[in-house]
Amino acid sequence: MIFIKFFVLIFVVMFTRQVSANVYSGTCGEECSWSVSDGTLKIIGTIQNYGDGGKTPWRILERDNGVKIKNIDASEVTGLGKCSFEDLAHVTGVVLPRDITNIPPEAFRFCASLENLELPENISSVGYAAFTKMYNLKSITIPDSAVFNYSDVFEETSGITTVYCKGDIETCRANLEITGIADSVTILTAPETQCNGANYYWSGNACNKRPTDGRMIDCADGWYVTNFDTCAIVKKRYTLPEADAATSNDNENTIEWIFE
């Protein structure tokens, strides 16, 4: 037991450093770096495989330092590893990179607060237990190319009611058969408002029509649109050329223009 505690201490010292009072950073593989600031985990590079039990440096940070990670910005990740986000129980928002093709085993296991998840359009395989014990997950958006080869992908994720398919519904249904949820959820074609096109933007976990004048907008939940073609989201502000003080989208939710 003493040896285990000593190993964990050495691990944290080697792979985690506190940059300031509220910013932490470290490495997650040979060419992978991460930082946590204001509740947002930012990762760049390819995440290595980790063992079960929340052994990622960011989970150890949560456990040992009391830091709560609420958002994951993986938009610059080039590959996920086993257990990448396991045990991040406070996460409510995730941005995944567009080009990844694989969701590894136990990637989101025990992400108990996440309600909605959108998989990138190039995903072709999903590992075992990838979405198990996500007790509050209500919907997931998947491409029709996503193949589920394991029956336990959604084990104990009983709250999921809707699957949005980016493609053919029957193909998605067939791909989901082995998981056991194909007949217990509503499978719908992901509408254009799922950010499949260039005319919509994310705001408050939903998509809204993009202003016709083409200017960038400040999303209501604090995340900012970076690319309307993919609706990738990062915490970043934009300079606008000209704009009124405020406008409203089709859902009558006020959005404010950003000036810098």
Q: Which DSSP category does 176 fall into? A: H
Whole-angstrom distance, CA of residue 234 vs CA of residue 176: 30
Q: Say what the pTM is.
A: 0.69
pLDDT-derived band of residue 210, with 50, 70 and 90 as boundaries? low
Question: Number of C-alpha atoms within 13 angstroms, CB side, residue 12?
Answer: 15
Residues of the chain with CATH 3.80.10: 2-191
The predicted model gives 17-34 an average pLDDT of 81
The predicted model gives 195-207 an average pLDDT of 46
- Portion of the chain with pLDDT greater than 70, in percent: 65
The predicted model gives 13-34 an average pLDDT of 75
pLDDT single digits (tens) 238-254: 333 343 333 333 333 33
- Portion of the chain with pLDDT greater than 90, in percent: 52
**In whole numbers, what is the pLDDT of the chain averaged over residues?**
75
Q: What CATH number labels 2-191?
A: 3.80.10
Residue appearing with tokens 């050495």: 10
Residue 238 confidence (pLDDT)? 35
Residue 37 confidence (pLDDT)? 94
Residue 220 confidence (pLDDT)? 39
Whole-angstrom distance, CA of residue 70 vs CA of residue 167: 30
Q: Is the pLDDT of residue 175 over 50?
A: yes
